[in-house]
Amino acid sequence: MRVLVLNGPNLNLLGTREPDIYGDTTLEDLESLIEGWGADLGIETRFTQSNHEGEVVDAIHEAASADGLIINPGALTHTSRAIGDAISSVGVPAVEVHISNVKQREPWRAESLVAPSCVRTIFGRGVGGYQDALRHLQNRAATPFDTVAYGPNRDNVGDIRRPDGEAYGLVVLIHGGLWRQEYERDSTETLAVDLTDRGYVTWNIEYRRGREGGWPGSAHDVVSAIDFIIREMPGPPVAIIGHSAGGHLGLWASVRRENLIRLVVGLAPITDLAALARSGSVGSGDAQRLLDSGAPATVDSVAGKTILVHGEDDEIVPVSHSTHLSTGTPVEVVPGMGHFPMLDPKREHWPRVVAELGKALA
Ligand code: DQA
6-16, pLDDT tens digit by residue? 999 999 999 99
Residue 22 CA, ligand 1 centroid: distance in Å: 8
**Which residues are part of the catalytic machinery?**
22, 98
Q: Which range among 78-92, 124-138, 316-330 shows the weakest confidence by mean pLDDT?
A: 316-330
103 lines ligand 1 (CB under 6 A): no
Q: What is the mean pLDDT of residues 256-285?
A: 96
DSSP 233: S
CA–CA separation, 177 vs 179, rounded Å?
Answer: 6
Band (157; pLDDT cuts 50, 70, 90): very high
Residue 4 CA, ligand 1 centroid: distance in Å: 18
pLDDT at residue 69 is higher than 90: yes
- Closest alpha carbon to 176 in 280, 282, 278: 282
80 lines ligand 1 (CB under 6 A): no
| Substitution candidate for ligand 1 out of 72, 112, 121, 123 with most atoms within 8 A of CB | 72
Band (319; pLDDT cuts 50, 70, 90): very high
Q: Which residue would you say has higher pLDDT here, 137 or 300?
A: 137
Residue 16 CA, ligand 1 centroid: distance in Å: 14
pLDDT at residue 153 is higher than 80: yes
74 lines ligand 1 (CB under 6 A): yes
Band (41; pLDDT cuts 50, 70, 90): very high
Q: What is the mean pLDDT of residues 242-262?
A: 97
Q: What is the mean pLDDT of residues 296-303?
A: 91
Asked if 332 and 349 count as a contact pair (C-beta separation under 8 A), the reply is: yes
Average pLDDT taken over every residue of the chain:
97
- Residue range 199-227, pLDDT digits in tens: 999 999 999 999 899 999 999 999 999 99
H or E segment to which residue 239 belongs: strand 238-243
Q: What is the mean pLDDT of residues 276-293?
A: 96
3-state class of 153 per DSSP?
coil
Q: Treating both helix axes as pointing N-terminal to C-terminal, what angle do 128-142 and 189-197 enclose, rounded to 10 degrees?
A: 20
pLDDT of residue 326: 72
Atom of ligand 1 at shortest range from CA of 10 = 12
Residue 115 CA, ligand 1 centroid: distance in Å: 13
pLDDT of residue 96: 98
- Residue range 184-195, pLDDT digits in tens: 999 999 999 999
pLDDT at residue 90 is higher than 90: yes
- Residue 177: Cβ within 10 Å count: 22
CA–CA separation, 202 vs 191, rounded Å?
Answer: 9
79 lines ligand 1 (CB under 6 A): no
Band (327; pLDDT cuts 50, 70, 90): confident
48 lines ligand 1 (CB under 6 A): no
Atom of ligand 1 at shortest range from CA of 22 = 11
CA-CA-CA-CA torsion sign (214, 215, 216, 219):
positive
**Predicted structure pTM score:** 0.97
Asked if 244 and 337 count as a contact pair (C-beta separation under 8 A), the reply is: no
100 lines ligand 1 (CB under 6 A): yes
pLDDT at residue 262 is higher than 90: yes
98 lines ligand 1 (CB under 6 A): yes
pLDDT of residue 136: 98
Asked if 261 and 240 count as a contact pair (C-beta separation under 8 A), the reply is: yes
pLDDT of residue 71: 98
Residue 21 CA, ligand 1 centroid: distance in Å: 9
| Substitution candidate for ligand 1 out of 109, 112, 127 with most atoms within 8 A of CB | 109
Band (325; pLDDT cuts 50, 70, 90): confident
The burial of 25, by beta-carbon neighbours within 10 Å (0-12 exposed, 13-18 middle, 19 or more buried), is given as middle
Residue 184 CA, ligand 1 centroid: distance in Å: 19
pLDDT at residue 101 is higher than 90: yes
129 lines ligand 1 (CB under 6 A): no
Bridge partner list, 241: 173, 265
Residue 63 C-alpha from the chain's centroid: 26
CA–CA separation, 303 vs 286, rounded Å?
Answer: 28
Asked if 103 and 181 count as a contact pair (C-beta separation under 8 A), the reply is: yes
Amino acid at 116: P
pLDDT of residue 77: 98
Positions of E strands within 195-237 = 200-205
